Amino acid sequence: MIDREQYMPGPANMARIQKDRGPNGEEKWTLVLVKELRHSPEKVWEAITDPAHLREWAPFVADGSLGTVGATVKLTTVGAPALRVTETTVTRADAPEVLEYNWGGFDMRWELEAFAGGTRLTLWTNIGHRFIAMGAASWHICFDVLDHLLSGTPIGRIVGPEAMNFSGWQRLHAEYAKQFDVEVPNRAPLADRKS
C-alpha cells in the first residue's frame, strides 16, 4: 500500500448532474460519474461485483456477489454513525457491461464501456439535491481508490467520516457544490467538532 498522505484527488471534473421529473412531476436529480480506467472491462466488472474487491474501495461491504441477476445481497454502509444494512436484489447484470441494483433507496446503474485499451466506467445514482455535492466528492474519491487498487498501488478505502475529514474531500465537495449550484453546509471538519 502506498502512503495515503501522497494521494490528492484531481479537480472536480468527474461528476455531473442530470435533472428529470418523477412520475408525479417532482424534480429528480441523478448524479453521473465517469472515470476512465486503464483496465479491461472484465477486471473492472470483478471490482464492482466481487465482495473482496468492493471491501477495498466501495462505501459499503457486500455479503455476496453483485454479478448475477436476482442475487439478494446485504450491503452494509462503511463509516456510518449507525449500522446501516440494506438488502438489495440485482435487477440487471450483463457482464461486463451493465449492472443495476438499488442501495438504500438509491438506484445504482453502472456501465462499463471498452475505451482506449481500458474501460470508461459510468455510475448513475439518484440522490437528493441537498447531498449531491457530498455524493459526488465521495464517489470521486472511491473511484480514485478503485483506480489505485486495480493498478496495484492500493491506498486503502477512504469513506464515511474519514473521507469527510480528508482535505481533498472538502475541496471536491466545495467545487462540486459550486458546479451544481447547491449550498455547502457551513460546518467544521468532523475531527474539529466539540462533543
Cell of 129: 439535491
Please report which confidence band the pLDDT of residue 185 belongs to, taking 50, 70 and 90 as the band edges.
low
Which pLDDT tens digit goes with each residue over 90-139?
999 999 999 999 999 899 999 999 999 999 999 999 988 889 999 999 99
Q: Is the pLDDT of residue 191 over 50?
A: no
SS3 34: strand
CA quadruple 155, 45, 160, 64: dihedral positive or negative? negative
Q: Is the pLDDT of residue 24 over 70?
A: yes
Please report which confidence band the pLDDT of residue 190 belongs to, taking 50, 70 and 90 as the band edges.
very low
CB contact at 8 A, 53 and 47: yes
3-state percent breakdown (helix, strand, coil) of the chain, nearest 5? 30, 30, 35
Cα angle 17, 105, 136; round to 5: 30
Pairing of strands 106-115, 15-21: unpaired
Q: Which helix (H) or strand (E) holds 23?
A: none
- pLDDT at position 59: 96
- What is the distance between the alpha carbons of residues 49 and 52, in angstroms, rounded to a whole number? 9
- What is the distance between the alpha carbons of residues 35 and 52, in angstroms, rounded to a whole number? 21
DSSP single-letter state for residue 63:
S
Q: End-to-end alpha-carbon separation of the chain, Å?
A: 33
Which pLDDT tens digit goes with each residue over 153-179?
999 999 999 899 888 999 999 999 999
**Half-sphere exposure in the Cβ direction for 101 (13 Å, CA):** 24
pTM of the entire predicted model: 0.91
Q: How many CB atoms lie within 10 A of CB 134?
A: 21
- What is the distance between the alpha carbons of residues 106 and 146, in angstroms, rounded to a whole number? 21
Which pLDDT tens digit goes with each residue over 32-89?
999 999 999 999 999 999 999 999 999 999 999 999 999 999 999 998 888 899 999 9
- pLDDT at position 21: 84
